[in-house]
């Protein structure tokens, strides 16, 4: 199914497509490259909004109607030019989203109203902030979100949800009258001027925190564990296979089937290898090294050393290079191995390669002890039913106040070193 709607007074046309494969990949990525968020010194795009990523979700059967993700990619055309686009999915459940609305669905059910299907605008299974409403400028971004709302009304959907939105998306959604919801993630940020090395970074922390990190790293080292990293095409087929065995096992140990198939990661290896960094933990035993754990990190660029992102004369950062903690798994239990694989190794790599930030993914207050500090994330919501829209607006006001207090509490527990005599630099 393809639908076309002519917009009023201007020659914009909306086309809703049944598959990401119906969207020209080069045109999509070119539009993505114009977005003002996730600046990458010109080296890359937000990896999770790349056409290759979204297409792989579909082609690998990870996000399809069979798994509850029915694609309806909305495109905005001005003549023959792609002026706007968003990855929209019809959902018949709320899994794999990381912004929780199960209570909303239950309230609809209790009142005899259908909540599903609903419309979701976000890359599947990916709680990473980034652009959701791809557009050439602010007026076209607003036009796009209004067109999406109109389409949802035509389809008689209960609601529309845009998750982990960029600042520009938030502005468009607010202007269109959507409700905003806030949550908290934990991100690490490099300093300006940048840290020289991992020890330099540790010296920015309170004595108790840096002592704990050193102790945790020593435990892993004492267990005979070493790490190696591989970036892009240097990640071997054997490493990808080993990663998936760890990833799959971790999900099953928690009582769930993995969201993503092996074929999805094969497509990542084939179509966008430059966006992946892998750490492999190896144990020395019986005269040979044995792989026991791995973590997979997404990166927005892959230079050997991205010093061109720093203005050394002014001592400031010209643009942002970001790494994203994504997946991990282990075949053996070693004390503190998770912290080493998922935080310390990636942070050390980010420092050595001039990266500005490391995003730790959804939830996880424990990440603060590893110097990942709280940041507010935003989602935007439209509810078709006026009474439910009013009720959820009141709920979000109360929830938002709680988030503000939570952020204030977290900021008071900052792991960063305070310049006092009680905290010697050691």
Model confidence band, residue 287 (pLDDT cutoffs 50, 70, 90): confident
The reply to whether 240 and 126 lie within a common domain is no
pLDDT at 296: 98
Residue 214 maps to a domain: yes
pLDDT at 38: 44
What's the pTM?
A: 0.91
- Closest C-alpha among 60, 44, 176, 185 to residue 121: 176
The reply to whether 55 and 70 lie within a common domain is yes
pLDDT at 301: 63
Mean pLDDT of 17-23: 97
**Cβ proximity of 144 and 74 under 8 Å:** yes
The reply to whether 102 and 225 lie within a common domain is no
pLDDT at 181: 98
Mean pLDDT of 332-342: 95
The reply to whether 117 and 216 lie within a common domain is no
- Alpha-carbon dihedral sign for residues 170, 172, 173, 177: positive
Q: What is the CATH number of the domain that holds 208?
A: 3.40.630.30
pLDDT tens column, 300-311: 864 433 344 444
Residue 426 maps to a domain: no
The reply to whether 393 and 321 lie within a common domain is no
Average pLDDT, the chain: 90
The reply to whether 158 and 15 lie within a common domain is yes
Please state the φ and ψ torsions of residue 318, each to the nearest 5 degrees.
-85, -30
pLDDT at 42: 38
Residue 423 maps to a domain: no
Mean pLDDT of 368-384: 96
The reply to whether 154 and 194 lie within a common domain is no
Mean pLDDT of 147-156: 98
Please state the φ and ψ torsions of residue 216, each to the nearest 5 degrees.
-65, -40
Of 359, 375, 391, the domain-final residue: 375
Does position 270 have pLDDT exceeding 90, yes or no?
yes
Residue 115 maps to a domain: yes
Residue 424 maps to a domain: no
- Closest C-alpha among 273, 269, 279 to residue 229: 279
164-178, 249-263, 273-287, 298-312: range with highest mean pLDDT: 164-178
Mean pLDDT of 262-267: 98
Task: Name the least confident of 252-256, 379-383, 396-400.
Answer: 252-256
Of 354, 375, 396, the domain-final residue: 375
Residue 319 maps to a domain: yes
Task: Name the least confident of 96-105, 185-194, 291-300, 302-311.
Answer: 302-311
pLDDT at 361: 86
The reply to whether 337 and 365 lie within a common domain is yes
Q: What is the dihedral of CA 359, 360, 363, 364, to 10 degrees?
A: -140
The reply to whether 84 and 223 lie within a common domain is no
pLDDT more than 70, % of the chain:
89
Does position 4 have pLDDT exceeding 60, yes or no?
no
Residue 422 maps to a domain: no
Does position 277 have pLDDT exceeding 70, yes or no?
yes
pLDDT at 319: 54
The reply to whether 123 and 143 lie within a common domain is yes
Mean pLDDT of 91-108: 96
In the chain, how many domains are there?
A: 2
pLDDT tens column, 113-138: 999 999 999 999 999 999 999 999 99
Of 357, 375, 393, the domain-final residue: 375
**How many beta carbons lie within 10 A of that of residue 375, not counting itself?**
15
Residue 420 maps to a domain: no
The reply to whether 260 and 239 lie within a common domain is yes
- Domain encompassing residue 24: 3-185+376-411
Model confidence band, residue 168 (pLDDT cutoffs 50, 70, 90): very high
- Closest C-alpha among 18, 422, 347 to residue 188: 347
The reply to whether 146 and 210 lie within a common domain is no
């Amino acid at each position: 199914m393809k639908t076309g709607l002519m917009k009023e007074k201007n020659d914009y046309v909306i086309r809703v497509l049944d598959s990401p494969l119906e969207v020209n990949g080069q045109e999509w990525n070119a539009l993505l490259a114009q977005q003002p968020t996730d600046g990458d010194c010109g080296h890359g795009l937000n990896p999770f909004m790349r056409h290759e990523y979204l297409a792989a979700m579909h082609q690998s059967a990870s996000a399809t109607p069979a798994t509850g993700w029915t694609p309806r990619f909305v495109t905005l055309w001005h003549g023959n030019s792609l002026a706007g686009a968003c990855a929209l999915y019809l959902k018949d459940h709320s899994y794999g989203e990381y912004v929780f609305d199960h209570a909303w669905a239950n309230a609809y059910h209790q009142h005899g109203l259908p909540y599903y299907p609903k419309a979701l605008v976000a890359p599947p299974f990916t709680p990473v902030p980034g652009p959701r409403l791809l557009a050439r400028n602010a007026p076209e971004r607003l036009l796009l979100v209004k067109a999406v709302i109109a389409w949802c009304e035509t389809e008689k959907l209960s609601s529309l949800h845009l998750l982990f939105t960029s600042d520009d998306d938030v502005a468009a959604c607010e202007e269109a009258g959507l409700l905003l919801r806030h949550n908290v993630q934990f991100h690490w940020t490099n300093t300006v001027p940048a840290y020289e090395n991992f020890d330099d970074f540790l010296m920015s922390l309170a004595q108790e925190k840096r002592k704990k990190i050193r102790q945790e790293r020593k435990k892993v080292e004492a267990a005979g564990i070493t790490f190696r990293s591989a970036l892009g095409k240097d990640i071997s087929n054997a490493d990808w296979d080993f990663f998936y065995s760890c990833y799959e096992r971790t999900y099953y140990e928690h009582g769930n089937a993995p969201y993503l198939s092996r074929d999805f990661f094969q497509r990542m290896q084939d179509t966008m290898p430059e966006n992946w960094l892998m750490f492999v933990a190896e144990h020395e035993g019986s005269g040979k090294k044995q792989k026991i754990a791995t973590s997979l990190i997404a990166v927005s660029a892959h230079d050997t050393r991205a010093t061109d992102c720093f203005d050394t004369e002014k001592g400031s950062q010209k643009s942002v290079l970001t790494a994203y903690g994504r997946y991990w798994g282990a075949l053996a239990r070693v004390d503190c191995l998770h912290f080493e694989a998922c935080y310390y190794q990636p942070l050390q790599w980010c420092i050595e390669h001039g990266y500005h930030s490391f995003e730790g993914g959804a939830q996880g207050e424990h990440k603060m002890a590893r110097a990942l500090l709280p940041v507010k994330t935003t989602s935007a919501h439209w509810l078709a039913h006026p009474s439910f829209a009013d009720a959820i607006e009141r709920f979000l006001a109360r929830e938002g106040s709680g988030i503000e207090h939570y952020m204030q509490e977290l900021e008071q527990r900052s792991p960063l070193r305070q310049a006092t005599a009680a905290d010697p630099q050691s």
